[in-house]
A and B are shown apart, each in its own frame.
Chain A
Amino acid sequence: MRKVFAIFTFVLFSLLGICQPSGSVFLEAESFGNKGGWVVDQQFMDLMGSSYLLAHGMGIPVADAETMVEFPSSGEYNVFVRTFNWTAPWYKGEGPGKFRLSVNGVKTGPVLGAADAQWFWQNAGKVKISDKKVRVGLHDLTGFNGRVDAIYFTMGTTAPPPEPEALEKFRKQMLKIPETPANAGSFDLVVVGGGVAGTAAAIAAARLGIKVALIQDRPVLGGNNSSEVRVHLGGRIHVDPFPALGAVVNEIGPTRGGNAQPADYYEDEKKMEMVLAEENITLFANFRAYAVKTSGSRITEVHARHIETAEELAFKAPLFADCTGDGTIGFLAGADFAMGREGIDEFGEPTAPEKADKMTMGSSVQWYSIEENQASSFPEFKYGVDFNEVNAQKVTMGEWTWETGMFLDQIYDFERIRDYGLLVVYSNWSFLKNHSSVKENYKNRRLEWVAYVAGKRESRRLLGDHILTEMDITNFVIYPDASAPTTWSIDLHYPDPKNTEHFPGNEFKSIAVHKNIHPYPIPYRCFYSRNIDNLFMAGRNISVTHVALGTVRVMRTTGIMGEVVGMAASLAAKHSTTPRGVYQNHLEELKTLMNKGVGKYDAEDIQNYNLGGTLGPRK
C-alpha cells in the first residue's frame, strides 16, 4: 500500500469536488472523478501552472468527463473556464479544440476552447444552481485536443487572475492546499523522473541497501520508452570496461524493438513491477516535482504535486538525482546548465557549429494508422499548415523522423512544440483521407494512435565536474573515473532539407547524421552537478556538450548511467559524503560495484534489438 501511495490519494479529493466558501467553486479539471475519454496532461505544468484535461480523440469526440460538486449555496453563478485555442499560433480563426460545459447533464453556455491564443479564463456564461450537489461535465465536440485546466463558478463577476503567480496563490487558496507540503517520508536518495535512467538509478540504489523515493509525473514508468511515447531502447549493455553494467536495463527493458508500435511492445507492467518489487523503493507515480528548497549549495527538499489531486509533498534527503531529462531539479536549485549548441570556439569540437546557437534536437509526436475492413472518415482539418500533392507525407505512420521544434525553446515553448506535432499529423492525415490523389489507399485506414506525450530529445544539460566533449569520445580519452560505456554513434538531428523546401522555419521532419564511435566509458564526473553539492544526474540531462549528447542520449546508455548513479549514491550514503566525495575518495569502491553490477534475477540477455553500429572495441 505504502508503495503505491500515488495512485489512491486522489480518490479522497475527487469524490465530491472541492467546495470553497465565499460563493464560489474552483474545480480542477484533472481532478474530475470520471474522466471519460479525456486524458490528464501534466507536461506543461511548469509553464501554465497546472496539469489539465485534454480531449485527445484523434478526430473523434471523446466521452464526457464528469464530477460531482458541492456548491456553497443555490443561486446564479457566473462560470469561467481556463482554456485556449491551441491552433492560434498557426491559424487566426476559430480553433478545433471545441467543447462545452454541462451541468446535471444539460449543456450550458457557449462553445469553449476555440478562442484566444494563450491560456485564459473564458467566460462560459451563467448557470442556475438549485440543488447544492451538482454534476459538472465536459463535453468534447471534436476529438481535436480541446483542453481545460480549471472551471470557476462564482456569484461575483470576476474571473480568477490570469498571471501565473497570482493564479498559483488563488488556486492554493481555493483548493485549501497547505502552504507547507506534507512530509513524504525520509529517504537516503530522491530520484526525480522515472524514465529508463531514473528507474535504473532507483533500482540500483535500492538493491545496494538505501531508501529511495522515485518521483514520476506519469502513471507509468519508462519515459520515452513507455507506451505513452513509444520509443524503443537503443545502444548496448554489457560492454567493456564494465560488462556487468546494464543488468537492470536488461531486467526492465522490453523484449521487442520498434518505434511507434502498439502499446504492449513497451511492457510498462514489467518496469512497474520491477520497481515495486524493490522493498527499498517508494514510488510516487503521478507526482511532478515543481520546486526545491536549498541551503547553501545543497538541495534540502524537493516538492512535488500530484497531477490529478494537486496534493503536495515534500521530499527530504541528503542526496537527489535529477533524471527528469530537462534538468528541472538542477535548474530549480540553481545548478549550472547549458542548452543549445556550443560554438566551435568553446571546446574545439569539429562537429560544433562555428558560432554557438540555441538550436537543439527536436521533439516527436509519433503516430500510426491501421488498415481496417471498412472505410472510415476523418474530418477536414485545416488550421494554417496546408498540405497538397507535393508536400503531403504519403505514409501510414510517423516515427522518429517526425521531429519538430529545433529552433524553439524545448522548455518554454514545449506546449507549442507538442501542439505543432499534433497539428501536422492531423493536417496531413486529413489531406490524405479527403483530398489526396491516393486517397483510395487510405480509405480503410484509421489513425489508431497519436502520442500526446511528446518525446523529447534535448533540453537542459546540467554541468558537472567534467563536461564530455566530442574529442573525449573520438580521441578515446580515458579518464580515471571512466564508467558507463556509451556505444551509439554521435547521432545529431537536423531539419530534413526536403521538409525545409515546403515548410521553411516550420519543419516537422528531420534527418540524422551519424558519426560512429568506439564504445567509450563516460567519466563519472559527468553524473553530478559541479555547483549543487548533493545532486546527481542521469539521462539526457548529464554533463555533455550538444555534440556528445548525440551518443549518450540513447536509453540503454541512460539506463546504465542510472545504474552507476545508484551505485554512487549508495556509497555517498554509506560514507556520508557527496557525489564529488565519491569521486575524490571512493572511486575504487565505485569501480568494484561497477565490476560486480546490480543484476538480481539472472535474466537472459534479451536486449538484442536496435543496438546501433559501433567502430568496435578500441584496440
Chain B
Amino acid sequence: MLNNIKRNLLTWMVPGILFCAGFSDVHHESHRPSFWKTDGTLYMHYFEEKTDSLSGPEIYELKDAEGLTIWFGRYIFKDVCISGECKMIRLWLFWDGAGNYLGMELPKGEPLTKSDHTEFDHADYAKLEDILRDTSSLLKDLKQEELVMVPDTINPYEVDGYTAATRPGLDQVVVKDAVYTCYTLWHTVYGPVRSYLMETLESRINSGYLNLLFKSKDPALTSFAMEAVRKNPEYHSEFYPRIAGEVLSENHSLAGQALDYFVPSRMVSEEEQQLLCSLIPHADAQKKYGIIWKLQETGNVHETVVLQMLRYSEGGELGIGSLNLVYRLIQPEFMDRNQEMKSILDRFSVHENPYIRNLTARLLGNRH
C-alpha cells in the first residue's frame, strides 16, 4: 500500500530542505510552534483542489527516518471575500501524521489583517490557533452568509463584517473583526485537504505501520493508531495489549480512549479480561473503577479474573468502595467450585469491618 502512495509522490530526498525560506517571519516568532522541524525526508503529494485553484497543487509531507509523518504542509493562497472588497491571504497550514491541525506559518511581512486593516496581534493569533484546533467549532455548520447579521442596506459580503454585526453567539468564538478570515481558514483546515490526508493515512494502515505509530509514543499518532485498530478489527488480537497499556497513560484523553476501546465484544476471552484486570494495581482510583465497570459490562467475567479481583480486594489494591462491584461479577457456581475464592469470601464474612462483613454475608445469603 505504501508503494502505492509513493507512486503518487514526487520524492524530494533532501534532508533538512528549506522550502520555507522566505517565511522566516513567523507571526509569533517567539512562540515558534513545537511541531516545527525540517529534519527528515520531504515528499510531495500532487493534490488538485478544484474549489481552490489559487493554492498550488502540492501537499508536502515530512517523514522521519522510520517513515512516520512529522507533518503535512500546504501553501494556501486564498481570497477572503466574496464580492466587494477582497483581501488575499497567503500562508502555510500544517497537519500532523494523524491529520490534526498543527499550526500555520505566515510569509514575511504579510500578517493577517482585520476588516479595519489593522494587523492581528498576539492575542488574535492565539485565538485563531484555538479556533483552528477546535474540531467542532461553531463555524463548522454555518454557511458563510450566516456569519453576520447585515442591515438590509449593506452589501452582505463586506469583508469580515466590517460594517455588519457578527452573529450573536459567534463573537465569542471568532477573532474580533475577522470573522470571515476565521471561517475561511477553519474550513480550509477541515476541508478537502484534510479528507485527502485522512484517506492517505488510512490507506497506510497495516501491522507494521501500526507498530510504528504505537512505538512513536506521540499522543496524536497513538490515538490515531487506536482508532485505526477500532475500525479494523483484524488488528485487534495483535494490538489490544498495546491499547490496554495506554489505559495507564498519564494523558487523560489517551487513557480514556484506550478504555473506551474495550467494549464487551472486545473483551470476550479470558486473556483480554485478564490483561485489563492486571492493570489494576498500577492504575489510579478512577481508572480502577473504569476497568471494573468495563468488566461488568461484559456480563460474563471469567472465573480467574474474578478471583484476581478478589485477591486485589483482599490485598488492598482495590479499595472498599469497589467491593460491591466486584461481588456483582461473581457467579454462584464460582463460589461452589473455586476453593481460593471461597476462602477469601469466608475471611471477608468474618471481617472486622462490618460493611465488608455484611456485604459478604448478603452475597453468601446468610446475613449474620
* Pairing of A with B: yes
Residues of A in contact with B (beta carbons under 8 Å apart): 250-251, 255-256, 264, 267, 269-270, 273-274, 276-279, 601-606, 608
Q: Across the interface, which residues of B come within 8 angstroms of A270, CB to CB?
A: 321, 324
What is the chain B residue whose CB lies nearest that of A255?
A: B289
Within 8 A of A (CB), among B285-340: 285-286, 289, 293, 296, 319-322, 324-325, 328
Q: Across the interface, which residues of A come within 8 angstroms of B362, CB to CB?
A: 269, 273
Q: Name A273's contact: one of B285, B286, B293, B324 (CB within 8 Å).
A: B324
Q: Contact: B354 with A277, CB < 8 Å?
A: yes
Q: Contact: A256 with B358, CB < 8 Å?
A: no
Q: Contact: B286 with A606, CB < 8 Å?
A: yes
Q: Across the interface, which residues of B come within 8 angstroms of A274, CB to CB?
A: 355
Total interface residues on B, CB under 8 Å, equals 19
Query: Is B359 part of the contact surface with A, judged by Cβ < 8 Å?
Result: yes
Cα(A278)–Cα(B359), bound, Å: 13
Q: Name A256's contact: one of B289, B324, B353, B354 (CB within 8 Å).
A: B289
Q: Contact: B354 with A606, CB < 8 Å?
A: no
Q: Contact: B286 with A608, CB < 8 Å?
A: yes
Q: Name A264's contact: one of B285, B328, B358 (CB within 8 Å).
A: B328
A-B interface pairs (CB < 8 A), number? 51
Q: Contact: A603 with B289, CB < 8 Å?
A: no
Given A605-B285, A606-B285, CB of A276 within 8 Å of CB of B320: no
Min C-beta distance of A529 to chain B, whole Å: 33
What is the chain A residue whose CB lies nearest that of B285?
A: A604
Q: Name B320's contact: one of A267, A278, A603 (CB within 8 Å).
A: A603
Min C-beta distance of B314 to chain A, whole Å: 15
Given A264-B328, A603-B321, CB of A256 within 8 Å of CB of B293: yes
Min C-beta distance of A267 to chain B, whole Å: 6
Interface of B is mostly: helix
Q: Which 10 A-B pairs have the closest CB atoms?
A: A277-B355, A277-B354, A604-B285, A255-B289, A604-B319, A603-B321, A601-B320, A270-B324, A273-B359, A273-B358
Given A264-B296, A267-B324, A601-B353, CB of A277 within 8 Å of CB of B358: yes
Q: Across the interface, which residues of A come within 8 angstroms of B328, CB to CB?
A: 264
Q: Across the interface, which residues of B come within 8 angstroms of A601, CB to CB?
A: 320-321, 353, 355
Cα(A273)–Cα(B357), bound, Å: 10
Cα(A267)–Cα(B359), bound, Å: 12
Cα(A370)–Cα(B252), bound, Å: 29
What is the chain A residue whose CB lies nearest that of B354?
A: A277
What is the chain B residue whose CB lies nearest that of A256?
A: B293
Q: Contact: A269 with B359, CB < 8 Å?
A: yes
Min C-beta distance of A275 to chain B, whole Å: 10
Q: Across the interface, which residues of B come within 8 angstroms of A269, CB to CB?
A: 324, 359, 362
Given A604-B285, A605-B285, CB of A255 within 8 Å of CB of B358: no
Q: Contact: B289 with A606, CB < 8 Å?
A: yes
Min C-beta distance of A481 to chain B, whole Å: 31
Q: Contact: B321 with A276, CB < 8 Å?
A: no
How would residues 106 to 138 of chain B score, 1 for a CB under 8 Å from any chain A CB and 0 otherwise? Answer: 000000000000000000000000000000000
Cα(A189)–Cα(B103), bound, Å: 64
Q: Across the interface, which residues of B come within 8 angstroms of A264, CB to CB?
A: 296, 328
Cα(A270)–Cα(B328), bound, Å: 12
Q: Across the interface, which residues of A come within 8 angstroms of B359, CB to CB?
A: 269, 273
Min C-beta distance of B101 to chain A, whole Å: 27
Q: Across the interface, which residues of B come within 8 angstroms of A602, CB to CB?
A: 320
Q: Across the interface, which residues of B come within 8 angstroms of A256, CB to CB?
A: 289, 293
